[in-house]
Amino acid sequence: IVEARLKSMLGEEIEDDQPAALPRVGIIMGSDSDLPVMKDAAKILREFNVPSEVRIVSAHRTPEMMFSYAASARQRGIQVIIAGAGGAAHLPGMVAALTPLPVIGVPVRASTLDGLDSLLSIVQMPRGVPVATVAINNATNAGLLAVRLLGISDLDLQSRMAQYQEDRRDEVLVKDDKLEK
Ligand code: RP5
């Protein structure tokens, strides 16, 4: 169901009888209400052809599922986990405590505190348990950071990241060119 909602958000066909490649990145979030933000990470990974899976896993509402997801991710071939949550956003930190995989945290703006609560909940990890925290609602950067991490041992992916950066640079140059000086 989550995958179907994601496909419709990304404007992809729902029908898909291709066997799915084994996911290298796990994108998890505390609630389906995080999906409008977290879909941006999935979009980046699709652009780079990195197979990923998307799951709703709540640290507070499904703690046993969070435990089994994090504890088994490595054995299933997951290499990076992107975890998004809002409010008392404990999911990224708890998952980082349960796996040796790199965890990227996305603070989701979900409450009256404008996302600062989520940011602080995710970024203020104790020494020894790192979570690479991106900016509030910036799941795009989480996807890009996952690609860079995988690029360390996947040179094709790394050169596609270099191309992505060149494309962003060219976009700025075109905008600068169009400015009346
Ligand atoms: C967090 O609480 C979720 O990650 C979400 O950002 C927030 C609100 O969840 P819902 O009440 O929308 O399910 O656990």
Domains of the chain: 2-154 (3.40.50.1970)
Place of tokens 């699709």: 46
Angle, in degrees to the nearest 10, between helices 139-151 and 35-47: 30
Q: Of 77, 28, 25, nearest to 49 (Cα)?
A: 25
**57 Cα: distance to centroid of ligand 1 (angstroms):** 11
Paired strand residues for 148: none
Ligand 1 and 105: CB distance under 6 A:
no
User: How does pLDDT run across 111-169, given as a tens digit for each residue?
Assistant: 789 999 999 999 999 999 999 999 999 999 999 999 999 999 999 999 999 999 999 99
* CB-based contact 15:83 (threshold 8 Å): no
Ligand 1: which of 29, 34, 60, 82 to mutate, judged by most atoms within 8 Å of the beta carbon? 34
Q: Distance of CA 126 to CAs 4, 39, 93, 123, Å?
A: 37, 28, 9, 9
* CB-based contact 82:27 (threshold 8 Å): yes
Q: How far apart are CA 165 and CA 181, in angstroms?
A: 26
Ligand 1 and 157: CB distance under 6 A:
no
User: How does pLDDT run across 52-96, given as a tens digit for each residue?
Assistant: 999 999 999 999 999 999 999 999 999 999 999 999 999 999 999
Rounded to the nearest 10 degrees, how much is the dihedral formed by the CA atoms of 115, 119, 122, 127?
A: -160
